[in-house]
Chain A
Amino acid sequence: MARFGMVIDTKKCVGCMDCVVACKTENNVPEGLNRDWIVQDVKGTYPTLNMQIRTERCNHCDNPPCVYCCPCGASHIHELGGVVLVHHDKCSGCKACMAACPYDARFIHPDGYADKCTFCIHRVENGMDPACVSVCPTHCMYFGDLDDPNSELNKLLNSRKHRALIPEAGTKPQIFYLD
């Protein structure tokens, strides 16, 4: 069984937002809403500053509270790669999943259902990378199978310092950031 995840090299990310545009185009994300976004994290006091740029999205957690809290069974874990998805025609728009997500990765689609990053499962099922990964001009994003010890993801995770976002929330996020 595959376990899909991402590794993002923050040393390479320049915050160009190509991933954001690619996602909106690929998934027809409505105007004013985003499934992925860029965070600039600046620490220190001028002139001693440190800036990290990150591209963020749903972390497709291994322990996803958004799935467990859904009263309709709309939020679910996809059989391929443990990707967290939403059945649009089962969602009542109660917003429980939005309250449950520590990453604030979900939003309400104008049609009324909860929406979020799908890891472009429609592309992945056809052997392609998610749209955001495929367009990244600095090649800072890596998508693959975390269960495969020989995958590029695991090679990077074994050789570089990395962290996940808010691991203390206990959700076991599956996106890792190389520091």
Chain B
Amino acid sequence: MNEITNTRNNHLIDPTLSIWGWEISVYLFLGGLVAGMMIIAGYFLYKEKHKEFKASSTIVPLLGIILLSVGMFALFLDLEHKLYTWRMYMTFQPTSPMSWGAWILVLVYPSLFAMMLIKVPGFVPQKFSFLFKWSEYLNGNRKLLKVIGITNMAVGAGLGIYTGILLSSYGARPLWNSAILGVLFLVSGLSTASALIHMIAKDEEESGVLARADNLFILFELVILGLFIINLLSSTQAHINAVKIILTGPYAAGFWVFVVGLGVIVPLFIQSLAVSHRIKHTIVAPILVIVGGLILRFVIVNAGLLSHWTKVIGLE
């Protein structure tokens, strides 16, 4: 038996680390979703499909800006020293993934804004005539459109990967301590973004392409989840204990039922039947994928906070 008594009782630290609440999980989810949207819409723009695939070229950029702003507001709510937020933008710390993220976010807005200019949203008043002029110039310049497409793909990939690397860089939390988390969050972002655009696209071809792409992303996500588990299970005792939190411990139900079951396997099954025309497309599969992506962030963030190099509370 090993009983440890600690006189420390610091807020957010004891009895278990609880520094990050729903704000961070929601931000990581929305960051991943917007990253996926940028990559998909950027790819269609690069492939000059933007005229046919209207949801990707007209709705996605504006929706991306809105969703990312909601995510960043959640991030702002999490800060304890809110008046000092600007301090992140007075420096660049190359060893800090959070610093990289802060600056990547600065690149995301102009990238999405440039893509939004392909078709200026209807609510923009005519007095902003310069926006319409820029739009006209963009549409007459094929090379520039391709550059905007590539930029959105690159910045989107940076955003998606960083949301995972942010967590994986914390060696103190064994569950997060796997670089594959960057790939997992990127693929989950691509999958949730495909599901969202598939749902809102009116064009049948666009919707169909994204349903097929989503199946691939979901399948890939399942493989990455498997690799993530194998990676931790074959590491130190601390990492084995950490992964047990999601495999058999307090977050097992959330992980197996909502992430793997309802978030990956069930929508993959439904969507496979739909793309092979055995059943009709409904919003069930995409909604499951999106909610699964959100719960994945909640499970990984919360279980990671619980994981520790020494004893894990709730895992005896």
Q: Is the CB of B3 within 8 A of A93?
A: no
Interface residues of B in 14-33 (CB under 8 A from A): 14, 17, 19-20
Say if the beta carbon of A125 comes within 8 Å of chain B. Answer: no
For the complex, give the distance between the alpha carbons of A84 and B95 in Å.
16
Instruction: Given A95-B20, A170-B171, verify A107-B2 contact (CB < 8 Å).
Output: no
Say if the beta carbon of B124 comes within 8 Å of chain A. Answer: no
Number of chain B residues whose Cβ lies closer than 8 Å to a Cβ of chain A: 48
Q: Which residues in A have their C-beta under 8 angstroms from that of B79?
A: 92-94
Contact with A along B66-109 (1 / 0, CB 8 A): 00000000000011111111011011010111110110000000
For the complex, give the distance between the alpha carbons of A102 and B309 in Å.
7
> Whole-angstrom distance from the CB of A30 to the nearest CB of chain B?
10
> Whole-angstrom distance from the CB of A38 to the nearest CB of chain B?
5
Q: Which residues in B have their C-beta under 8 angstroms from that of A27?
A: none
Q: Which residues in A have their C-beta under 8 angstroms from that of B99?
A: 71-72
Most buried by B among A39, A89, A96: A96
Q: Which residues in A have their C-beta under 8 angstroms from that of B13?
A: 98, 104, 106-107
Instruction: Given A99-B17, A107-B12, verify A72-B87 contact (CB < 8 Å).
Output: yes
Q: Which residues in B have their C-beta under 8 angstroms from that of A71?
A: 88, 91, 93, 96, 98-99, 101-102
Q: Is the CB of A65 within 8 A of B87?
A: no
B75: nearest chain-A partner, CB-CB: A94
For the complex, give the distance between the alpha carbons of A93 and B84 in Å.
8
Say if the beta carbon of A69 comes within 8 Å of chain B. Answer: yes
A74: nearest chain-B partner, CB-CB: B87
Q: Is the CB of B81 within 8 A of A104?
A: no
Say if the beta carbon of B277 comes within 8 Å of chain A. Answer: no
B88: nearest chain-A partner, CB-CB: A71
Q: Which residues in A have their C-beta under 8 angstroms from that of B80?
A: 92-95, 108, 112-113
Say if the beta carbon of B279 comes within 8 Å of chain A. Answer: no
A95: nearest chain-B partner, CB-CB: B19
For the complex, give the distance between the alpha carbons of A89 and B81 in Å.
9
Contact with B along A15-47 (1 / 0, CB 8 A): 001001000000000001110011111111100
Instruction: Given A108-B11, A168-B236, verify A90-B309 contact (CB < 8 Å).
Output: no
Instruction: Given A91-B81, A93-B80, A112-B80, verify A69-B5 contact (CB < 8 Å).
Output: no
Say which size band chain A's interface belongs to. Answer: 35 or more
Say if the beta carbon of B272 comes within 8 Å of chain A. Answer: no
Q: Is the CB of A32 within 8 A of B172?
A: no
For the complex, give the distance between the alpha carbons of A44 and B1 in Å.
5
Contact with A along B198-216 (1 / 0, CB 8 A): 0000000000000000000
Say if the beta carbon of B231 comes within 8 Å of chain A. Answer: no
Q: Is the CB of B309 within 8 A of A39?
A: no
Instruction: Given A69-B98, A100-B172, verify A112-B88 contact (CB < 8 Å).
Output: no
Contact with A along B33-64 (1 / 0, CB 8 A): 00000000000000000000000000000000
Most buried by A among B1, B81, B91, B309: B81
> Whole-angstrom distance from the CB of B8 to the nearest CB of chain A?
4
A106: nearest chain-B partner, CB-CB: B13
For the complex, give the distance between the alpha carbons of A168 and B174 in Å.
11
Interface residues of A in 121-179 (CB under 8 A from B): 166, 168-171
B305: nearest chain-A partner, CB-CB: A99
Say if the beta carbon of B169 comes within 8 Å of chain A. Answer: yes
Say if the beta carbon of B276 comes within 8 Å of chain A. Answer: no
For the complex, give the distance between the alpha carbons of A72 and B83 in Å.
13
Q: Which residues in A have their C-beta under 8 angstroms from that of B308?
A: 102
Q: Is the CB of B2 within 8 A of A42?
A: yes
Instruction: Given A17-B7, A70-B96, A166-B309, verify A101-B172 contact (CB < 8 Å).
Output: yes
18 additional contacts, CB 8 Å, given A100-B169, A111-B81?
A38-B7, A70-B98, A72-B87, A73-B93, A89-B84, A92-B87, A93-B79, A94-B88, A98-B13, A99-B173, A100-B172, A102-B171, A104-B17, A106-B13, A108-B80, A112-B83, A113-B81, A168-B309
Closest 7 CB pairs of A and B: A93-B80, A93-B81, A112-B81, A37-B8, A102-B172, A71-B99, A71-B98
